Amino acid sequence: MNNPVINSITRKPEAKTKWSYVLTMPVFLMFFCYLLIGSGYFSDLKTFVGATLLNGVLLTCTFLIQNHVNTLISHRYSSLNQTIQRVAISVFTHAVLSGIFLLLVAALYVKFRLFGSTLGYKALLIVYVVNMMAIVLTMVIQETFHSLGHWKHHEFNKEKLLKENIQGQLQSLKAQISPHFLFNSLNSLSTLIAEDAEKAEEFVNQMARVYRYLLQTNQSTIDDDNVNHLTTLNHELTFIESYYHLLKTRYGEGMHLNIEVDDKYASYHIPPLTLQLLVENAVKHNVIRTSRPLIVEIVSTENGLLQVRNNLQKKSTSGLENLESTRIGLANIQTKYHLLAQNKVVTSEPIIENGPDYFTVTLPLIHKTT
């Protein structure tokens, strides 16, 4: 997910490294030149200017190369659990690059006796050690900001997913407790009371279960402050059967729900109210008649996926409000799974297929081991 806040955080280590180089370069450059040339570096103006310019260019080129390599390593091993591997590879790579650089500089100074240099092995070793100390210090700064960036990224996702959960569930709750839905439910109940007292009692029980589940689900998400709030597939299916009972009472033979889910997936998890959003979406945007029944199917697959499918018989006219609610509902499901994937709760995301005859949403089932 491309987010400017997160991008600005993750770019800070590179910017910090460049500023560290700019601030420390003058001191290190003079020390480097002194070790290569000796006291003559400060005693002669031409030597001072010439050596400073030459070594400044060499050090800057080396820094740019090493900084680019370090960026590649950081991107390749970006995860926090790869910190040891990232640091080890960085230290080894910089040690090799620094050694090659110093050997080339030493060969240049010794062969051409630049600036009257009397460079020896001891001075070369000191330069190498000091250079590695500077690299280690830079890496400490980078790792600090790298870890901070990951922590900020995690907190950002946590807050966003919590908001998506609450927003989606409250939206669903609002939709179901709306006067229109309540009026239809009470109207169906009124008809049943006059025709069949036993069916009316069952309708009241199912209606109570629907509202209880909606209220409990929303309240538990808010109270727990849990961005990864999930419910078992068994609980969600039990709820959807109660929800379907209310719809069935209203639409009769105009609607059918077929559930074929393997029992082994009963303890798997999905975001709460996901199935309700999909069934509600099917009811809102399709013709429901006894002669043209709406058929919703919920089936599990061999590879641990859940498919929710309905036959397409779209209404000839559909209000903008309904179309917008469809987009919001499906987008809400996709966003939840996307953020769950970023939090490594799930490894894949929903697949939406809008074919000529069927509308299908394939959901990953989440197997929680703890």
CA distances (Å), origin 29, targets 103, 113, 130: 17, 19, 11
Whether 1 has a pLDDT exceeding 70, the answer reads: no
Is 14 exposed, middle or buried (CB count within 10 Å of its CB: 0-12, 13-18, 19+)? middle
Whether 110 has a pLDDT exceeding 90, the answer reads: no
Whether 369 has a pLDDT exceeding 90, the answer reads: no
**Sorting pLDDT into bands at 50, 70 and 90, what band is 293?**
very high
Q: In sequence order, what are the residues at sequence separation of 6 or more whose Cβ sits closer than 8 angstroms to the Cβ of residue 138?
A: 17, 20, 21
What's the whole-number average pLDDT of the chain?
78
Spell out the domain ranges in the chain: 4-155, 230-364
Instruction: Determine if the pTM surpasses 0.95.
Output: no
Hey, which CATH number is domain 230-364, 3.40.50.1010, 3.60.150.10, 3.30.565.10, 3.30.70.100? 3.30.565.10
- Residue 301 pLDDT: 93
What is the SS3 assignment for 257? strand
pLDDT in tens, 44-87: 899 899 989 998 898 888 888 888 887 888 788 877 677 788 88
pLDDT in tens, 113-151: 788 777 777 777 887 787 778 777 777 777 777 677 777
Report how far residue 190's alpha carbon sits from residue 197's, in angstroms, rounded to the nearest whole number: 10
Report how far residue 58's alpha carbon sits from residue 215's, in angstroms, rounded to the nearest whole number: 68
DSSP assignment string, 342-363: HTTS-S---EEEE-SSEEEEEE
**Sorting pLDDT into bands at 50, 70 and 90, what band is 320?**
very low
